[in-house]
Amino acid sequence: MVDQGKVYLIGSGPGDPELMTIKARKLIDSADVIVFDQLPGKEILDSLPDKAEKVDAGKYAGNHKLTQDEINNILIQKAQEGKRVVRLKGGDPYIFGRGAEEAEELIKAGIEFEVVPGITSAIAVPAYAGIPITHRNHASMALFMTGHEDPTKEESGLDWEFLAGFEGTIVILMGVKMLEKNIGALIEHGKNPKTPIAIIERGTRPDQRVTISDLANIVDVANEKGVKAPAITVIGDVVKISEVLGIMCTCN
């Protein structure tokens, strides 16, 4: 009888390989199987060990290579074969990464697993663009929200009236495709159209790009510049600070 393996739900961080944790790197390098998304980025994916079996579970716009059920089954099957399995995700596995859903399925199947947190892009990407999501003079609160809810949900879990009235920083993950709809909902529910907004593409990577405008104009500006995922959207007065910190920052 084969001894059962173990699954590691690993967050690779926001994209810069040097922001990956030491623990994540060690587990990746010792893995038998790596089930990965595209979000870790090319540099990290190119560094995956040759000896490991690699399964591309990437979810691209309009093209899901594997369903979530198929991913769950692969994790369970490989662990039952006695393999050391890494489920590699961008950012942190429990922040809009379906890591908790996968963990629940592993528990049901009696599979041992471990979560390895990663630096979430919701914090790191704005920082690399010179935008602190909190600042004593600008924002004492911050919230994270998904820009793309599960389309199978009968009702939205987003309270747009609350979001429009929120006086801190709003950070939207996965919001490029739904940008016009989301911005429209904020303005419709009372958000000031002059509120500053930044969209940061490919954050922390060498080809990072930052687009700054206000709510009233960001859709047109984003379309003109050809903004594409992956990107983080930051809404609030802290965006103004990038005029200083973004110019001087050498972290990227």
Q: What is the pLDDT of residue 148?
A: 77
Chosen domain end from 88, 116, 144: 116
Please say if the pLDDT value at position 1 is more than 90: no
Interval 30-87: pLDDT, tens = 999 999 998 999 999 999 999 999 999 976 555 568 999 999 999 999 999 999 999 9
Looking at residue 250, its pLDDT comes to 46
Q: How far apart are CA 149 and CA 93, in angstroms?
A: 17
Catalytic center residues: 37, 59, 174
Rounded to an integer, what is the distance from CA 44 to the centroid of its chain? 15
Order of all β-strands in the sheet with 142-146: 142-146, 169-173, 231-235, 196-201, 209-214
Number of structural domains the chain divides into: 2
**170 is a domain residue:** yes
Residue-number span of the structural domain to which 90 is assigned:
6-116
Measuring CA to CA, which residue among 157, 178, 156, 163 is closest to residue 235? 163
Q: Residue 1: inside a domain, yes or no?
A: no
Boundary-marking domain end, from 82, 116, 150 = 116
Decide if 33 is inside a domain: yes
How far apart CA 175 and CA 147 sit, in angstroms, is 4
Domain with residue 44: its CATH number is: 3.40.1010.10
pLDDT tens readout for residues 205-236:
999 999 999 999 999 999 999 999 999 999 99
The CATH number given to whatever domain includes residue 229 is: 3.30.950.10
Over the stretch 140-176, which tens digit does the pLDDT of each residue have?
999 999 987 665 666 678 999 999 999 999 999 988 9
Q: Are residues 126 and 239 in the same domain?
A: yes
Q: What is the DSSP letter of 139?
A: B
**Residues 149 and 227 placed together within one structural domain of the fold:** yes
131 in the same domain as 110: no
